[in-house]
């Protein structure tokens, strides 16, 4: 029995090291907020994981990341995936109908609520993007063609 438990723990041990630490999560959220509010397009696009990404999907992600840029973030957090999120993360049809899936499996989602004010009034928006881990850092995976 002890041998079986030891083998199980050894098998699980590598998986335990793949979760981002709370400090890494905070640094990711803080860096995203800073880039968004500073209208730093280059830094925002640097969060994207592009390996294997579909070019059309990648351009869409870049556009969406910067569409509300410069507004004031009222709330930003990394949230755990629920059952519906996990289902959406498995992929589906892209804008042109081709089957798409994420190039890295999402582990969290970044939930952003922002507000913009102008002479015409104020607007608020909310968005979510999936977040994954690559080489020990948090990234925003762009979808690629499903194979």
Instruction: Tell me whether residue 25 is in a domain.
Output: yes
Instruction: Tell me whether residue 101 is in a domain.
Output: yes
Instruction: Tell me whether residue 35 is in a domain.
Output: yes
Backbone angles phi, psi at 31, to 5 degrees: -65, -40
Q: pLDDT tens digit string along 76-111?
A: 999 999 999 999 999 888 878 889 999 999 999 999
Provide the residue range defining the domain that includes 91.
Answer: 20-116
CB-hemisphere CA count at 13 Å for 110? 25
pLDDT of res. 48: 97
Q: Which element (helix H / strand E) includes 77?
A: strand 72-80
Q: Which two tokens stand for residue 63?
A: 């556009």
Instruction: Tell me whether residue 26 is in a domain.
Output: yes
Instruction: Tell me whether residue 99 is in a domain.
Output: yes
Using pLDDT thresholds of 50, 70 and 90, give the confidence band for residue 27: very high
Q: Count up the domains in the chain and report the number.
A: 1
Instruction: Tell me whether residue 108 is in a domain.
Output: yes
Instruction: Tell me whether residue 46 is in a domain.
Output: yes
Quick check: 54 and 94 in contact, CB under 8 A? yes
pLDDT of res. 49: 97
pLDDT of res. 87: 93
Instruction: Tell me whether residue 145 is in a domain.
Output: no
Selection from 143, 132, 9 nearest residue 64 by Cα: 143
């Amino acid at each position: 029995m002890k041998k079986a438990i030891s083998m199980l723990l050894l098998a699980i041990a590598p998986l335990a090291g793949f979760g981002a630490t709370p400090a890494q999560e905070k640094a990711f959220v803080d860096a995203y907020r800073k880039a968004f509010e500073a209208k730093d397009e280059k830094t925002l696009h640097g969060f994207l994981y592009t390996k294997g990404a579909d070019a059309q999907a990648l351009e869409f992600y870049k556009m969406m990341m910067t569409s509300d840029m410069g507004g004031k973030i009222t709330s930003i957090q990394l949230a755990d995936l629920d059952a519906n999120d996990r289902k959406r993360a498995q992929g589906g049809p892209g804008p042109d109908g081709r089957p798409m899936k994420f190039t890295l499996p999402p582990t969290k989602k970044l939930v952003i609520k922002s507000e913009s004010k102008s002479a015409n009034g104020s607007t608020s928006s909310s968005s979510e993007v999936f977040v994954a881990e690559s080489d020990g850092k948090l990234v925003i995976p762009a979808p690629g063609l499903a194979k």
